Amino acid sequence: MKVLLAGSLEYSDCDQPAATLNVACGAPEDMKQARDVTWHYIPRNLPASWWLPTDVTTPASWWLAEYGWSIEDIFIGMALRPAPGYTVNFDSPPELTIVPCTTEEHICDVGRVIASPHVDEQPREAKVLAQAYRSAARPILAGEDGLKVWIGYVDGQPVSTIAAISQDNTAGMYGLTTVPECRHKNYAQATFFKALEYIVGTGCELITLQAASGGVTIYNEAGFIPVNQFVLWNNKALL
């Protein structure tokens, strides 16, 4: 994995066909910068995603569109500052068991859950994601940078996952995913609240996440408020 900088931009390159792992973050300062980052991926035909913290009417968006990027989704940045006495209350489905990841097998199961939404439409991406988690199992379990991951099981099968990174009384929650055939059963909600309960218990003063439109209600119920917007672009059309 390579992490590169271009002015205020940061972009990563895993050299594998997975837009989830090849990521650019930040707004390009000019058209040349947008072109340079784009052409970092194009020669190797790598799909990539670009998280642009702005709306779709700014010059940065025009530049990305000019170089073949297209909007995939819009995410809401949300934040929670737990007040004294804040508690997490949730009812987990009785058939769901959520555990912190402590073994390499757990991390491999996380990779399967993360890859599952891509299996039908993006099989190459699904394969790369599953392999990436298998390869990264030991570093993930080492908990570097305050990383902690949870995995949910039903009848021994992995169905949901979420990760959190905690540093200096601040935590970010990432990658809440449920396998497609197990959606609408409150598995994602229970997994999220299980992780949130742990994070609040560590005394974090600020917790952040990026919410897709379908998840905003869950996070609002937990006390999160919207603070900004991210437009997710992708260059998968280049493949």
pLDDT block averages, 10 residues each, the chain of length 239: 84 88 92 93 91 86 94 93 93 96 97 95 91 92 90 98 95 96 94 96 95 86 93 79
- b/e map of 18-37 (b: 16 or more CB within 10 Å)? bbbbbbbebbbeeeebbebb
**pLDDT for res 3:** 86
**pLDDT for res 6:** 82
Which of these, 153, 202, 196, lies nearest to 173 by C-alpha position? 196
Which of these, 91, 88, 82, 86, lies nearest to 224 by C-alpha position? 82
What whole-number distance in Å separates Cα of residue 175 and Cα of residue 165? Answer: 11
**pLDDT for res 1:** 74
Helix (H) or strand (E) holding 41: helix 31-41
Specify the pTM.
Answer: 0.89
Phi, then psi, of 81 in degrees rounded to 5: -115, 100
